[in-house]
Amino acid sequence: MAAELERFLSRLNAEIRDEADWGMVATYIPELAEVDPQQFGIAVVTADGAIATAGDAERRFSIQSISKVFSLACVLGRIGDQIWARVGREPSGARFDSILLLEREQGRPRNPFINAGAIVTTDELLTGRTPRDALSEIVGFLRAAAEDDDIHIDKSVAASEAESGFRNVALANYLKSYGNLNNPPQMTLGTYFHQCAIEMTCVQLALAGRAIAGLPGAPSVVSAVKARRLNALMMLCGHYDGSGDFAFRVGLPGKSGVGGGILLIAPGRASVAIWSPGLNAYGNSKAGTVAAERLAAHMGWSVFA
Ligand code: DON
């Protein structure tokens, strides 16, 4: 299968580049606004442990909201179901940074993958610890999951978001006003911005997803029950108000980031990372979503069949 998959990925890479339908990079984080949208990479790790890649699969990109899956995994490992007292598990049907939704729900974010929910998750990880320790836990989790210590935070991206992340400042202050933030808003936000600024390649991210995909031989960083729950949340909430469209088109759990990455899970079969920095109207990778759709269709991977 490995050779056939390599051939398919190489064709897919050529098709995506021919079509050149890249979308627009995120501009609200100045450092991300400078990234060339015309890039595409993909890495697929299958159940037999083989890795197939194409395009810019070894180039580092800002994982942004994909980090929310791993910070949640850390919190679930730490306090388990107690986190659900502070954040819900329902799809939002709203933008990832919606203030309206948080106000309507009186400070209990709809799910842990919208910004407000992820800020709460990070706040929980930070409680009783320093930002450095909380960040070490998330980065350490990723390094263990990928079996690769060369995973780091891009401090210039974190600083760039700290300078321009006014909506997140508003969300953190709303959370605090409703009593759903244990730490000072600036401290939680600083930690959250740094977690979003973790850089990885597609190869590293696909390797990090093996445990969530339940692949044989994956490092045991998350239990099977928790992996199932992460997959359910990725399916329903991983692409914000575009989650239904992604489920319809791809049929697999996925988590996007505004840096253009997508972590895609074919449970028991494969862990996939795709990166193309141009975004669609929902803030999810435009060419990346097309690639996910074509890969899943070609391989016959779906959680619905
Ligand atoms: O909080 C933010 O706005 C960013 N650090 C992360 C947002 C994000 O990745 C949304 N995903 N598409």
Residues 193 and 80 in one domain: yes
Active site residue 68: yes
Same domain, 106 and 184: yes
How many domains, the chain?
A: 2
Query: How confident is the model over 273-286, as pLDDT tens digits?
Result: 999 999 999 999 99
Specify whether 65 is catalytic.
yes
Domain span at residue 94 reads 65-198
289, two tokens: 């979503």
Average pLDDT over the chain, rounded to whole? Answer: 97
The residue whose CA has the least distance to atom 2 of ligand 1 is 115
Instruction: State the pLDDT confidence band at 2, using cuts at 50, 70 and 90.
Output: confident
Which of 141, 167, 198 lies at the terminal end of a domain, its last residue? 198
Q: Give residue 58 CA to ligand 1 midpoint distance, Å.
A: 22
Is 192 annotated as catalytic? Answer: yes
- Is the per-residue pLDDT at 101 higher than 80? yes
Q: What angle do CA 187, 190, 193 make, to 5 degrees?
A: 150
Q: Is residue 304 part of a domain?
A: no
Q: Which residue, of 198, 217, 249, is where some domain finishes? A: 198
DSSP output for 107-150 = T--S-TTSHHHHHHHHHHHHTTS-HHHHHHHHHHHHHHHHT-S-
> Which of the four pLDDT bands, split at 50, 70 and 90, describes residue 246?
very high
Half-sphere exposure of 7 (CA within 13 A, CB side): 4
Last residue of a domain, one of 183, 198, 213: 198
d(CA 151, CA 251): 29
Alpha-carbon distance 110 to 241, whole Å? 12
pLDDT higher than 80, residue 98: yes
For the full predicted model, state whether its pTM sits above 0.85. Answer: yes
Q: In this structure, are 79 and 52 located in the same domain?
A: no
Catalytic one among 25, 69, 192, 255? 192
Please name which of 17, 222, 21, 256 lies closest in space to residue 115, comparing C-alpha atoms.
256
Indicate whether 18 belongs to any domain. yes
Ligand 1 pocket (Cβ < 6 Å) reads 64-65, 96-97, 115, 161, 168, 196, 256-258, 283-284
Active site residue 178: no
For the chain, percent of residues with pLDDT exceeding 90: 98
Angle (deg, nearest 10), helices 224-237 and 243-250: 110
- Ligand 1 pocket test, pick from 65, 92, 114, 122 with the greatest ligand atom count within 8 Å of Cβ, gives 65
Residue 292 DSSP one-character state: H
Q: Is residue 13's pLDDT more than 80?
A: yes
User: How is 214-250 classified by DSSP, letter by letter?
Assistant: T-TT---SS-HHHHHHHHHHHHHHTTGGGHHHHHHHH
Tokens of 173: 């202050």
Angle between helices 185-196 and 131-146 (to 10 degrees): 20
Residue whose CA lies nearest to ligand 1 atom number 1: 115
Q: Decide if 25 is catalytic.
A: no
Banded model confidence at residue 305, pLDDT cuts 50, 70, 90 = confident
Active-site hit among 67, 68, 120, 221: 68
CATH number assigned to the domain comprising residue 53: 3.40.710.10
